Amino acid sequence: MASVLVVEDDQFVRSALIRHLTDAAHAVRSVGTALEALREVAHLRFDVVILDLGLPDLDGAEALKMLRGITDVPVIIATARDDEAEIVRLLNAGADDYLTKPFSVEHLSARIAAVLRRARAGGRDAPPETVLRVGGLTVDPLRRQAELDGRRLDLTRREFDLLAFLAARPGVVVPRKELLAEVWQQSYGDDQTIDVHLSWLRRKLGETAARPRYLHTLRGVGVKLEPPAADAPRGPGAEPPR
């Protein structure tokens, strides 16, 4: 059971969410505006917030920013627009996950469970781990910091988890299914979730899918992280086959 804050202005969607979450034994509070949501999180402790992006008072990104200013409660974005750039921006701005409307109850429940597991696993009971090094990349799971060639990388929580998971098994192709299970703690497939985070992580590593250095996607197989070949000059000859 979790305490859930539903931020949704559509009365129909809101009622349905409350009913389903209550049926799933969660304690639910709900509000219809971003400002009410801010007031709620300032006064009460929630395990997770489900934030509709189309609210009457504040733009979704703005609402998320203000939420993040006062709480680090996990936030699942609910959006009607399947806009990858916008979703990536929000994940980068501190959202923990997202759902595209219309979503199923099962889907929502799975996301909530995953977010809660992650929040708990990231708590003080997490075992200490050693610093991982792959080429010029350094990943410190304990401090949750990563550097590339001595430069600190500004990663979201999920980007860091993804990078740390791959850095712990350099050169090994990790199947997408395993990434979903281990990093997202989901047992069903949603390749877009992985792709969104991978593309954003790539940008922060200063590389692209077409010209990978550390992150290599093997279509239909999985993803691997490995040091760039001899850190070679990145001329045309250094480009790996697609």
How many Å apart are CA 195 and CA 189, to the nearest integer?
Answer: 12
Nearer to Ca ion, 14 or 176 (CB): 14
Nearer to Ca ion, 83 or 231 (CB): 83
* Closest residue to Ca ion: CB criterion: 54
Stretch that binds Ca ion, among 46-54, 98-106, 127-135, 143-151 (CB under 5 A): 46-54
Nearer to Ca ion, 54 or 136 (CB): 54
The least distance separating Ca ion from the CB of residue 206, rounded to whole angstroms, comes to: 37
The least distance separating Ca ion from the CB of residue 53, rounded to whole angstroms, comes to: 7
The least distance separating Ca ion from the CB of residue 190, rounded to whole angstroms, comes to: 23
The least distance separating Ca ion from the CB of residue 54, rounded to whole angstroms, comes to: 4
137: Cβ–Cβ under 8 A, 6 or more apart, which residues?
146, 147, 148, 163, 167, 205, 214, 225, 227
Nearer to Ca ion, 10 or 140 (CB): 10
The least distance separating Ca ion from the CB of residue 50, rounded to whole angstroms, comes to: 12
How many Å apart are CA 95 and CA 87, to the nearest integer?
Answer: 9
Near Ca ion in 47-106, by CB under 5 A: 52, 54
Near Ca ion in 142-171, by CB under 5 A: none
For residue 111, give both structure tokens: 């996301």
The answer to whether 106 and 98 have CB atoms below 8 angstroms apart is: no
Stretch that binds Ca ion, among 7-15, 16-24, 126-134, 219-227 (CB under 5 A): 7-15
Stretch that binds Ca ion, among 3-11, 159-167, 183-191, 220-228 (CB under 5 A): 3-11
Nearer to Ca ion, 34 or 153 (CB): 34
Count Cα neighbours of 221 within 13 Å in the Cβ-side half-sphere.
Answer: 9
User: Is there binding between residue 207 and Ca ion (CB under 5 A)?
Assistant: no
The least distance separating Ca ion from the CB of residue 9, rounded to whole angstroms, comes to: 5
Nearer to Ca ion, 9 or 86 (CB): 9
Residues at the interface with Ca ion (CB under 5 A): 9-10, 52, 54
